[in-house]
Every structure is written in structure tokens, then in C-alpha cells.
Amino acid sequence: MNFNNTLTIDSIDKWDDDSEIISTTQEVGLKLINKVIFTHIPNGPFNEKYYFFKRNDKSK
């Protein structure tokens, strides 16, 4: 996993389902969890940020 390719967003509108790792503020992260829980694993808050890691599709 390469953290150099982390997408940092500051609003829900900038979410990208295809990104492997996304970081955002604690406020935006809390709003995103219930919307993206099936595609990304939330982690946080850590230093007032949430990180979302794309889930692997094992069915492929």
C-alpha cells in the first residue's frame, strides 16, 4: 500500500470511489462513514483526520 497516493479531500463532494486511500477532516469523515462503509474501511480519528482504505473485492 502506497501512502504517497493518498487523496486528501475537504468536502463530501470531492469523494472518489476509485481512490485507494482517502484522508479528510474529522468533520467530513464522520459524515462519510455511513455512505462509504461498503467500499472503504474508515480509520480514525487520528490527529483530527479520518482515513478511508478501499476494500478489496475478493469475488473477482
Task: Give domain limits for the chain.
Answer: 3-54
Query: What pLDDT shows up at residue 32?
Result: 97
Side-chain half-sphere CA neighbours of 56 within 13 A: 2
Phi and psi at residue 17, in whole multiples of 5°?
-60, -25
Amino acid, res. 15: W
Query: What pLDDT shows up at residue 59?
Result: 57
Query: What pLDDT shows up at residue 26?
Result: 97
Consecutive 10-residue averages of pLDDT for the chain (60 residues): 84 96 97 96 95 81
Query: What pLDDT shows up at residue 16?
Result: 96
